[in-house]
Amino acid sequence: TGVEHEQVIDVHERFYEFIRSFRDRSDSYKYRERIKQMITMGQKSLIVDYNDLYLFDNRLARLLIERPDEVLQQASEVVKEVVMTEAPDYAETIDRFYVRVRALPRVVPLRRLKSEYLGKLVMLEGILVRTTPVKEKIVKARFMHCTREQGCHRFDWPPEGELIGDILERPPACPICGSSGGTFRLLPEESKLIDWQRIVLQERPEEVPPGQLPRSIEVVLQDELVDSARPGDRISVVGIVRVRPDSVSKKRAVFDLYIEANHIEVSQKILEEVVITREDEERIRALARDPWVRKRIIASIAPAIYGHWEIKEAIALALFGGVPKITEDGVRIRGDIHVLIVGDPGTAKSQLLQYAARIAPRGIYTTGKGATAAGLTAAVIRDKTTGEYYLEAGALVLADGGVAAIDEIDKMRDEDRVAIHEAMEQQTVSIAKAGIVAKLNARTTVIAAGNPKFGRYLTNRTLADNINLPVTILSRFDLIFILKDRPNPEEDRKLARHVLEVHRETERIKPEIDPALLKKYISYARRYIRPRLTAEASKLIEDFYVEMRRMSSENPEGPIAITARQLEALIRLAEAHAKMALRNEVTREDAEAAIRLMKTFLESSGMD
């Protein structure tokens, strides 16, 4: 072990010195001030930036990583001492102060977390996929000791300065009478309890190697950390790696790693995981100056798939999205464009969806059944081994801020059929079951595909008849496309030539724009571009909407009722069209493109 080569450090003294003397760039005593603030705010945690500690004393900082239990225990005592001198009354009311560490220099990928990290402090990043309800854990137990000779008396366990770990063991002997005989009875209502919760952290979808399942790890939260993040949140966790048996039976020699959290941060910025460098930005800007940029983007979507230009265009617009708005009275209007493709088998629906998920920032490809028990939205699930209930996020929550490509959406679970309405319009998922009540974010674009109910699309039936989805869900899609696979010699020959060419090429067919760059381009637009409607574009959309309403009133049997939803859809599509070229204004041209797509949708769904 490397420890014996280390010089002995007086952790207590060094940490005290760090708090007392560390000054930041603006020359202020950062941690003395943080402690003062902690007192005024009535908090009990001091947050330390790892880098500050490293600058102050790199040996102490390294020791914190190597032996966190010891260093954090000392650090907590130091904070208590400092608070004692500053505000003795306040210090008396707090049992334990915490030192929480943020921003370690290195993130350990979830896949790399091995037993060599046992007992060490690590930082992990991922999506919170599951939480259990809050429980209470004993940190200081009160026992009643009774013997025939001495009668009964109470004592606290473990002794001052020590805390209970994961297992509450019977004290070996009574600290009052010294006897190990008699009976020891735990008094839970007189013991000291803290909040306790288990969560599951999972690799972010973009980190999972293609074709593999995402890895996950359990994280234990205590005290103030409890409920500090919700399923679907992207978080970074600093914590100590621990083990416990992988099952209830104590005799098994197989163990699971888990993390005891020291600090948690919820990532505020959506899309920050796609890194855009200065050079990337220049390439993105150069691409946007090309007058053909939109055509090139559309042509870059699933280039191996022949035709389907309008669907590719719709997918492109969905990837860019419109501009979300919040009205004065606080109502959120989504910017996300939802697209549905209903079509005969073998018409490349799955291929298109998979491609869309690949180039979308925060893209997830899943099927209507969902990849996990949580399905498309969220679920309260009962663990078979422990009997414990937990809340797990489904695909739309995990892809919050991104795109969920849902194949075979007609096969979704009944629970999702209910919950997906709220997810697609209000962009939240509410759940209340088995004592778990939560509202999760699902600001997610849905690009979905479904198979016709009768095997093939029947032209003499309506759209709603052809797909096993209620009209209430259909009406939440901004655009719906119908793909009919009918023989057409001319088209068939072209498709055959295209597919044969793809197969002849030894390399895969090259898209116009490299997928990695396109993904960055989309991220950039979603992050920075907020186009505004010009008067001219508004007028065009307004006129078209009024005309649509008039026509649909003449044809009340029409498949889709024209409502203000289609008006909002037109605005979003026009905005997305402007975003595609990184423009800040929605022009006449953008409005025309939106109208053209809407017309295609209405005609193909049987409005004509």
**To the nearest whole angstrom, how small is the minimum distance from the Cβ of residue 351 to ligand ADP?**
4
> Of 307, 324, 515, 558, which lies in the binding site for ligand ADP, with binding defined by CB under 6 A?
307
* Contact status, residue 128 vs residue 267, Cβ threshold 8 Å: no
Task: Give CA 208 to chain center in angstroms.
Answer: 14
Which residues fall within 8 angstroms of residue 437, CB to CB, at 6 or more apart? Answer: 431
Q: Which does 351 bind (CB under 5 to 8 A by kind): ligand ADP, Zn ion, Mg ion, none?
A: ligand ADP
Extract the tokens encoding 315.
């997918």
> Of 39, 83, 174, 318, which lies in the binding site for Zn ion, with binding defined by CB under 5 A?
174
Measured distance CA(351)–CA(349) in Å, rounded: 5
Measured distance CA(460)–CA(264) in Å, rounded: 57
* Contact status, residue 255 vs residue 246, Cβ threshold 8 Å: yes
CB-nearer residue toward ligand ADP: 346 or 489: 346
Residues 414-473 that bind ligand ADP (CB under 6 A): none
Query: 3-state secondary structure string, 119-136?
Result: CCEEEEEEEEEEECCCEE
Q: Does 351 bind Mg ion (CB under 5 A)?
A: no
Q: Which does 176 bind (CB under 5 to 8 A by kind): Mg ion, Zn ion, ligand ADP, none?
A: Zn ion
Q: Does 345 bind ligand ADP (CB under 6 A)?
A: yes
The most distant pair of C-alpha atoms in the chain lies apart, rounded to whole Å, by 103
> Of 150, 351, 468, 475, which lies in the binding site for ligand ADP, with binding defined by CB under 6 A?
351
**To the nearest whole angstrom, how small is the minimum distance from the Cβ of residue 208 to Mg ion?**
21
Going from the C-alpha of 229 to that of each of 45, 276, 432, 436, 511, the distances in angstroms are 17, 27, 17, 14, 40
Q: Does 145 bind Zn ion (CB under 5 A)?
A: yes
**To the nearest whole angstrom, how small is the minimum distance from the Cβ of residue 153 to Zn ion?**
6
**To the nearest whole angstrom, how small is the minimum distance from the Cβ of residue 304 to ligand ADP?**
6
Measured distance CA(31)–CA(47) in Å, rounded: 9
Stretch that binds Zn ion, among 139-147, 165-173, 225-233, 503-511 (CB under 5 A): 139-147
Q: For residue 382, what is the DSSP state?
A: E
Q: Does 163 bind Zn ion (CB under 5 A)?
A: no
Stretch that binds ligand ADP, among 5-13, 41-49, 280-288, 300-308 (CB under 6 A): 300-308
The string of DSSP letters for 304-318 reads TS-S-HHHHHHHHHH
Count interface residues toward Mg ion (CB under 5 A). Answer: 1
Stretch that binds Zn ion, among 140-148, 302-310, 533-541, 567-575 (CB under 5 A): 140-148
Q: Which does 348 bind (CB under 5 to 8 A by kind): Zn ion, Mg ion, ligand ADP, none?
A: ligand ADP
Extract the tokens encoding 529.
């571009």
Measured distance CA(308)–CA(454) in Å, rounded: 23
CB-nearer residue toward ligand ADP: 222 or 351: 351
Q: Which does 145 bind (CB under 5 to 8 A by kind): Mg ion, Zn ion, ligand ADP, none?
A: Zn ion
**To the nearest whole angstrom, how small is the minimum distance from the Cβ of residue 143 to Zn ion?**
9
Measured distance CA(177)–CA(182) in Å, rounded: 11
> Which amino acid belongs to residue 221?
L
**To the nearest whole angstrom, how small is the minimum distance from the Cβ of residue 511 to Mg ion?**
21
Q: Which does 43 bind (CB under 5 to 8 A by kind): Zn ion, ligand ADP, Mg ion, none?
A: none
Q: Does 354 bind Mg ion (CB under 5 A)?
A: no
Task: Give CA 476 to chain center in angstroms.
Answer: 23
> Of 228, 350, 354, 468, which lies in the binding site for Mg ion, with binding defined by CB under 5 A?
350
Measured distance CA(523)–CA(525) in Å, rounded: 5
Measured distance CA(186)–CA(181) in Å, rounded: 15
Q: Does 349 bind ligand ADP (CB under 6 A)?
A: yes
Stretch that binds ligand ADP, among 139-147, 239-247, 299-307, 375-383 (CB under 6 A): 299-307
The string of DSSP letters for 254-278 reads -EEEEEEEEEEEE--STTTTS---H
Q: What is the dihedral of CA 419, 425, 429, 430, to 10 degrees?
A: -80
CB-nearer residue toward Mg ion: 49 or 344: 344
Count interface residues toward ligand ADP (CB under 6 A). Answer: 14
CB-nearer residue toward Mg ion: 222 or 350: 350
Q: For residue 51, what is the DSSP state?
A: H
> Of 499, 509, 516, 561, which lies in the binding site for ligand ADP, with binding defined by CB under 6 A?
499
Apex 52 CA angle, 50 and 54, nearest 5: 70
> Of 305, 337, 548, 597, which lies in the binding site for ligand ADP, with binding defined by CB under 6 A?
305
Q: Does 122 bind Zn ion (CB under 5 A)?
A: no
> Across 84-157, where does the E strand assignment appear?
98-102, 121-131, 135-147, 151-157
Q: Does 306 bind ligand ADP (CB under 6 A)?
A: yes
**To the nearest whole angstrom, how small is the minimum distance from the Cβ of residue 310 to ligand ADP?**
13
Q: What's the distance, Cα to Cα, between the start and end of the chain in Å?
A: 78
> Of 434, 495, 517, 567, which lies in the binding site for ligand ADP, with binding defined by CB under 6 A?
495
How many other CB atoms are there within 10 angstroms of residue 472's CB atom?
A: 12
Stretch that binds Mg ion, among 170-178, 276-284, 317-325, 342-350 (CB under 5 A): 342-350
CB-nearer residue toward ligand ADP: 251 or 508: 508
> Of 55, 118, 152, 176, which lies in the binding site for Zn ion, with binding defined by CB under 5 A?
176
Stretch that binds Mg ion, among 343-351, 471-479, 547-555, 581-589 (CB under 5 A): 343-351
Measured distance CA(564)–CA(542) in Å, rounded: 11
Q: Does 534 bind Mg ion (CB under 5 A)?
A: no
* Contact status, residue 488 vs residue 606, Cβ threshold 8 Å: no
Which of 362, 331, 328, 341 shows the shortest CA–CA distance to 425? 331
Extract the tokens encoding 309.
């230009």
Residues at the site binding Zn ion, with contacts judged by CB under 5 A: 145, 174, 176-177
Interface contacts to Mg ion, rule CB under 5 A: 350
| Residues found near ligand ADP in the complex (CB under 6 A) | 305-307, 343, 345-351, 495, 498-499
